[in-house]
Amino acid sequence: MITVMKGFDYRDNELCCEKVRIEDVAKKVGTPFYLYSQRSIIDNYRAFDKAFKEIDHLICYSCKANSNLSICRLLKEQGAGADVVSGGELYKALKIGVEPKRIVFSGVGKTREEIEYALKNNILMLNVESIPELELTDEIAGRLKKKAPIALRINPDIDPNTHPHISTGLAKSKFGIEISRAKEVYKKAKELENIEVLGIHMHIGSQITELEPFVDSLGKIVELIKELEKEGIELRYLDIGGGLGISYKKGEKTPTPKEFAKKLLSLIKGLKYRIILEPGRAIIGDVGILVTKVLYVKKTSKKNFVIVDVAMNDLIRPSLYDAYHEIIPIGKSKVQSPKSKVMVDVVGPVCESGDYLAKDRELAEVKSGDLLAILDAGAYGFSMSSNYNARPKVAEILVEKDKYCIIRKREGYKDLIRGEQEE
């Protein structure tokens, strides 16, 4: 048995998830499909929970990473709350029974309707990101005759050393309130009749693979907390966000939840606050794959192309971030020596030059009909997918030991026109 990633191994020359042969799933449900290991999702969640066991904490799973109801329900059953960034994500969290007092609502552009929806459902906190949002929240809460529970999201102006599109903690970012104005805004919030100031929130980005940005940011936030306490502003919750990265490339070192906790606990142990964490990718990213079938192998004078039935609308990360995902054959017998591998671009059917899964990648020779697995695709895979080029969205599969379940049906052509005027 050769382990490929969490929950995935080659057994008897066939890639398996837990005890399920992936080729068997492909024969039954067709391709493409996302496939996740239930055991590994639970293991990842428990690793976070155990890492912070020394302090009072609440893990609010970041639903934007993967908001499939079955996955969110599984995490809720393990004790997770939810970090939501839209009315839709809040609806899904409530739908599966997440307790409202275990839900935090983040996001720089909450609408009037979303704020009202959150307040009517008595969630734990709205993480407010600007003075106009604070004032609107006060107005809505007054109309509803409620006290709006809020935290202020503070921008610590720290470079998280990640891709610019997923960096959120710099001063030039659209997210949060500048740390230099934080005390002023807290004082304003305390004066508002319909606002209950409960916490402080930070989130500096996603796919962060070094601990220093977290430490530097949290250090700034802790100093701010001490200054606020001197002003008589005492809070109950410290939301330290998420953003811990995973390893997408072989040999790439990323911090474990235990290492992450060890660094941060030294800064927050003395605080009498409940700590909220918002992991997403670190729980679901490295426990899922995207299975695709080779349609054609095309050779030109300049390039060799492996054309597959997955496209940028199914997994946009390579096109959007130039992100790396390892691609391997489902059958181990396809893995040949480096000398027999060929340099290819793995591309999809969408009519865009940016529709690729890998560029200039060494891959074992394949032929039409062969199955490939795109690894570490559990986070920001299906959740960022679209129907571009009128392509139906793919199926999602959850594996538990020797069984699998379709947790999202593959869309058909009729799904593409639902809600449109046909005549």
Long-range interactions of 112-121: CB distance < 8 A, separation 24+: 112/136, 112/140, 113/87, 114/86, 114/87, 114/90, 115/140, 115/148, 116/140, 116/144, 117/87, 117/90, 117/91, 118/87, 118/90, 119/144, 119/146, 119/148, 120/144, 121/90, 121/94
Q: Identify the bridge partners of residue 297 per DSSP, sorted by sequence position.
A: 306
Is the separation of the CB atoms in 136 and 210 below 8 Å? Answer: no
User: What are the two backbone dihedrals, phi and then psi, of residue 188, each rounded to the nearest 5 degrees?
Assistant: -65, -45
Contacts 24+ apart (CB under 8 A), 257-264: 257/47, 257/48, 257/50, 257/51, 257/282, 258/47, 258/50, 258/51, 259/211, 260/51, 260/211, 260/214, 261/51, 261/52, 262/51, 263/211, 263/214, 263/215, 264/214, 264/215, 264/218, 264/240
- Please indicate whether residue 351 is annotated as part of the active site: yes
CA 205 – CA 156 distance, rounded (Å): 12
Q: Are 290 and 34 in contact (CB under 8 A)?
A: yes
The DSSP bridge partners found for residue 275 are 57, 238
Closest CA to 308 of 335, 334, 346: 346
Among residues 16, 17, 60, 351, the one annotated as catalytic is 351
**Active-site annotation, residues:** 351
